[in-house]
Structure 1
Amino acid sequence: MRGLIYMIMGLMFVSCTGRFKDLNTDNTGITDEDMQVDLNHLGIPLNVIQQGIYFNYDYGKGKNWPYQLMQNLSADMFSGYMHDYKPLNGGSHNSDYNLQDGWNGTLWENTYAYIMPQIKRLEDSTRLKYPAVYAVTEILKVEVMHRVSDYYGPVIYTSFGNKKMIYLPDSQQDVYYRFLDDLKTAVGILENHVNLAGYTPEFSRFDLLLDGKVESWIRFANSLRLRLAIRMAMANPDRARQEFVDAFADPHGFFEEPTQQVAVTTDNEYTNPLGEINRVWGEVYMNASMESILNGFDDPRREAFFEPCPDDVLLQDRDGRDSVRIPLKGQYRGIRQGTMFAHTLYSALSKIYVNVRTKPILMTAAEVWFLRAEAALRGWTTEDPGICYEQGIRCSFSQWQVPGVETYLQSDCRATDFEDAFTPGNNIKARCLVTPRWDDAASDEMKLERIITQKWLAVFPEGCEAWAEQRRTGYPRLFPVRYNNSRNGCVDMEKMIRRLNYPSSILDNDNGQYEMLVDALGGPDHAGTPLWWDTGRNF
């Protein structure tokens, strides 16, 4: 039956369109009878939505490359995690802020063409008859769309799929409030289904992210509430604090144990697109900022995150003879963003660990401990920020099954300067100022830098969340690009990229829609405009 679901999904993908006005029309040829077989009307949309968070579809044009464009060549790189070894576009592209619209519009276009229509379909069909499925749909909707909003800013959310086909944008402030309201609604519905005798949730057999239990989805929703509340800590401190406290007090809890995480299963047809790009295409390598911090901290997770360089490199002289040996074998080495390199020598550096069977991680208990640490630092709870911080590190080490956490917690190791393996002109002094050891006597700003730096390590390899938090706080302190080719210099090299501009397809096809989005943004539609929660200060 799962094979039938995937076959029908394939038909859906081919037929979808990116124009808002067409998204309410079902052109798949699937009959109502098809959708009712064996709960397909629930299973098909749920599969589409869950896989759509970490996009990996073949809708007639191939798999994996959509993810590369949607995330790997943007958030994964901008977060300081990864870099491609190839000199794409002649060496000038997103890496040096010469942003490629054909890449950067894909998250918006694919989400609205393939994922949001199925969310709307499921909302309409489950609201009354299958309330638990409706609640899970709302949680998934928030998980999908907060990522889109964190890329671009204002989005089409509350008016998507309305019968009048008038798609008014929500400002990021308004949509974040709606995200939180939707999560609270979902939790309220699911709480009515906890401990019901003989009850098996209709979504259980289609659950690709958790274990099919109502309680797990409540914990996921509450964890998301904590994440979003912290994100708006400086944009609206009072509401952020109240939202955090309310979610924190929910008796059903949130993620706390290392085994509690949200990850897309690869047990069936789904494969990890990052693994394909990495293992088959060979295009995912360590970022220089990762090298500086992991090597400097002598972090045991380094061996779980990346592979050491396989061999030394022999460079040839002008006569084509090997003349210079670059010692690399066994080292962990990365690529600095924005250097406009025109060679392929970086293929000798450290690849990421991910393969096609690796479950794509979306949220972990370790992240939640760091959310708690920041909340305690801000005085939102009575918890001790240092204890939460250390528990977050312990949780991360346990998740990755690496030893040495107690030694690491007492470490005063610091980030190392970056030395490019081949081009000394790319060398740069370390930027990260903190050590792993917690310091109660440090300033709040230094404590926050510790919390976010370790959260950045714990969130790996989920670049969307890492990039959002780095923009919000400025931590960890990443290396700036060496060359800044942003349009009209719109990106400050030290402040770094703040968002992606809206797809040109909106401007070309619906100028009125585009103007409403830019008006809701409250600034020019370029990569230097900060988002609502990006206030430029932390206290």
Structure 2
Amino acid sequence: MKSKFNKYIAAFFVAGVAGLMACTEDFESQNTKTNGFTEDLQSYDYMYYTLPITVVEQGIYFNYDWGGGKNWPFQTMQNLEADMFSGYFHDMNGSFNSNNSTYHLNDGWTSSNWTYTYGYIMTAAKNAERRNADKPEFLGVTKILKVELMHRIADIYGPLIYTNYGESTGSEPDDMKTAYYAFFTDLDEALTAIRTYVAANPKTNLFAKSDFLTPNKTYDDWIRFANSLRLRLAMRLSNVDPSKAAEEAKKALSDEGGVLEAPTDVIAVNASTSGFTNPLGEINKGWHEVFMNASMESFLVGYDDPRISKYFTPAAGGSEGALFNIAGTYKGVRQGTGVTHNKYKDHSPSTVAQNTDAILLTAAEVWFLRAEAALRGYISGDAGEYYKKGVETSFAQWGAGSAAEYLESEKTPADYKDAFDAKFDAKAESTVTPKWDNALSNEQKLEKIITQKWLAIYPEGCEAWTEQRRTGYPKLFKVAVNNSGGSIDTDIMIRRLFYPQALISDNPTQYGQLTQALGGPDTGGTRLWWDTGRNF
């Protein structure tokens, strides 16, 4: 991590928190100063209406240039949190191991997703809604983006400011049930808006030039995106509000517009057409701070998974004091060792580069969502067939060849052996295999579905961590060192991030409302609304 990071956090944090209550129109002046788009320039090609939308498109996977750098905010917003807690990545840098890795949560880091999303990206989304109130062709897209943006914040922190954001009456928080129901309503309104426009203008797509997310840049793509997003959120409620989950799942899959299905149906920030530079790629390729997590090693190596070479690069090896040679193998870093050395720098880095598209939602994920929906009886169809389709779609998406042999495999996750200290060795937490078996219990089938979904939605750590907490799958390695002071149980693992602690003094009323809606202490050990600790 760049040395100037702490200076930026200290200078910017209070201003960012204050942005929760700030007038959202401040976005326009910030954008004009940063990017030089005056109102005259914005008048061309509908830029006045689409400019704030494109900020949200890139800002979901934080890439907003506010003048202080775009990559280190992403590192603190996602890479040192969800990406690690999901079991995908770990930074080899020993200086990080006394903080989030061992559950000694760093407020400056854990606050950043809340702070920057509200300070910049939700601000742009609100502006886009206001500017496009009478332009359904843009309003529908905005509402879909707003849901994709803010469900991630809800799933990381819990109760949040959503329905009242930017209102003159105040910014009273929503509990998670209210927020989720509002997400579904916004998706309803988005589909209505887009279809209203398309019915009147069947051959005109005014948003295509500004579309940085969908594969074909069509309104049909946005409808499939909305339906797929609805299905994702529906299944999130399966353990806490099953009737609503079933209702929304059926609505998503019965909509005439369809969902993402083909391997090329990927919602991702396009790095070739948007000017987007993948911040994870810069942290990986430029800073050399993104490495395979030990849990990823356990599953990918244990399964002899062909996608491993698509996800990671073989280890270089060669660090002094190694217990065995790892050169040419795929080797991960275990979370929660608390070591201070940097010897893990010779382990397997990610393949994500600066020009890699930033994945948000894929057809493979949708097939696994369908598998779970069928398993729970929400929809008709065979859960096993949907499961197999999910694996096949993921293999095709990544160019990993045929999945036929893999789907017959009874291989299990591998034990982990630390290259430098045997006390960090760990037995595999799971014995789940890729092969589907109709004779298994629903719980065992769910483990298969979620484990393969976790492998398929790489490298999107926010969704991976959320689903791991909701279901308990895949079974990840637990931290070897727990420095949470008792607020996070080692076996139950981290459940959320606490709210920015500056709110306690800067906005005690709002902080009190948030924690009351949370229903538990504002710590990393408190379960969120949809996190019930059971699956059936």
Q: TM-score range by the shorter chain?
A: over 0.9
Q: Which residue of 1 aligns with 2:276?
A: 270
Where does 1:123-162 land on structure 2 (aligned, <5 Å)? 123-128=129-134, 130-162=135-167
2 CA distance for matches of 1:124 and 1:68?
A: 31
Corresponding position of 1:28? 29
Superposed CA deviations along residues 155-204 of structure 1, whole A, max 9, x for unmatched, are: 1000011123x111000111001001111111122223446556322221
Q: What's the offset of the Cα at 1:311?
A: 3.7
Counterpart position of 1:500: 497
What is the aligned counterpart of 1:44 among 47, 51, 60? 51
Cα offset, 1:517, TM superposition: 0.6
* Equivalent residue for 2:180, pick from 176, 182, 192: 176
Q: Structure 1 length as normaliser, TM-score?
A: 0.93
Tell me, in whole angstroms, the C-alpha distance in 2 between the residues paired with 1:428 and 1:227: 32
User: 1 CA distance for matches of 2:98 and 2:394?
Assistant: 36
| Matching of residues 429-448 of structure 1 within 5 Å | 429-448=427-446
State how far apart, in whole Å, the 1-side matches of 2:282 and 2:249 are. 38
1:47-81 deviation line (CA, Å, top 9, x unaligned): 21111100023312122000000000000000000
CA distance in 2 between counterparts of 1:24 and 1:313 reads 51
5 Å matches for 1:344-383? 344-383=342-381
What amino acid maps onto 2:62 in structure 1? F
Q: Which moved more, 1:37-46 or 1:169-178?
A: 37-46
Equivalent residue of 1:326, what SS?
Answer: coil
Equivalence for 2:299: 293
| Distance in 2 separating the partners of 1:521 and 1:448 | 28
List alignment gaps of at least 5 residues for structure 1.
Answer: 1-12, 316-323
What residue number does 2:464 align with? 466
Query: What displacement does 1:407 show?
Result: 0.3
**Equivalent residue, structure 2, for 1:167:** 171
Q: Does residue 257 of structure 2 align to residue 259 of structure 1?
A: no
- The residue correspondences of 1:471-490 to structure 2 (distance < 5 A) are 471-486=469-484, 488-490=485-487
Q: Tell me how far 1:275 sits from its aligned partner.
A: 0.4
1:398-429 per-position Cα deviation (integer Å, ceiling 9, x unaligned):
00001241000000000111100111000010
What SS does structure 1 have at the residue aligned with 2:267? strand
Q: 1-side partners of 2:341 and 2:112: how far apart?
A: 27
The correspondence for 2:451, drawn from 450, 453, 462, is: 453
CA contact (8 A) 2:17 2:503 kept: no
CA 1:507–1:437 in 2, change beyond 3 Å: closer, same or farther?
A: same
CA contact (8 A) 2:299 2:413 kept: yes
Q: Which amino acid aligns with 1:74?
A: E
Q: Could you tell me how far apart the structure 2 residues matched to 1:353 and 1:359 are? A: 12
Paired amino acid for 1:272: N
Structure 2 SS opposite 1:438 = coil
Superposition deviation, residue 41 in structure 1: 1.1
Q: 8 Å contact 1:158–1:170 — kept in the other structure?
A: yes
SS at match of 1:489: coil
TM-score normalised per structure 2: 0.93
Tell me whether 1:509 sits opposite 2:506 in the alignment.
Answer: yes
Q: Which residue number corresponds to residue 73 of structure 2?
A: 66
Q: 1:375 to 1:325 in 2, by over 3 A?
A: closer
Contact kept, 8 Å, 1:313 with 1:326, in 2: the verdict is no
**2:209 is matched by which residue type in structure 1?**
R
Counterpart residue number, 1:8:
none
Question: Following TM superposition, by how much is the alpha carbon of 1:25 offset from its aligned partner in structure 2, in angstroms?
Answer: 4.4
Q: Distance in 2 between matches of 1:96 and 1:150?
A: 21
Query: Which secondary structure state, in structure 1, belongs to the residue aligned with residue 21 of structure 2?
Result: helix
| Alpha carbons of structure 1 residues 167 and 298: separation in structure 2 relative to 1, 3 Å | same
Q: Distance in 2 between matches of 1:17 and 1:97?
A: 24
**Residue type matched to 1:418 in 2?**
Y
- Could you say which residue in structure 1 is the equivalent of 2:85? 78
8 Å CA contact 1:17–1:23 kept in 2: the answer is: no
- Partners in 2 of 1:370 and 1:477 — Cα distance? 17
Instruction: Identify the range of structure 1 (20-29 vs 222-231) with the bigger mean alpha-carbon deviation.
Output: 20-29
Which residue identity lines up with residue 306 of structure 2 in the other structure?
A: P
Q: 1:67-106 maps to which residues of 2 (within 5 A)? A: 67-89=74-96, 91-106=97-112
Task: Give, in whole Å, the separation in 2 of the partners of 1:358 and 1:515.
Answer: 41
Match of 2:76, SS state, is: helix
User: Could you say if the C-alpha distance between residues 193 and 38 of structure 1 is closer, same or farther in structure 2, counting changes exceeding 3 Å?
Assistant: closer
Counterpart in the other structure of 2:530: 533
What percent of counterpart residues are identical?
48
CA deviations over 1:248-292 (Å, ceiling 9, x no partner): 100110000000010001114211000000001000000000001
1:321 counterpart residue number:
none
**Take 1:287 and 1:71, find their aligned partners in 2: how far apart are those partners?**
15
**C-alpha deviations, 1:499-523, integer Å up to 9, x for none?**
0000012112111110011011111
Q: In structure 2, what is the Cα distance between the partners aligned to 1:454 and 1:443?
A: 17
CA contact 1:312–1:326 (8 Å) conserved in 2: no
* Counterpart check, 1:310 vs 2:308: no
Contact 2:63 2:70 in 1 (8 A): yes
Cα RMSD of the aligned pairs, angstroms, is 1.8
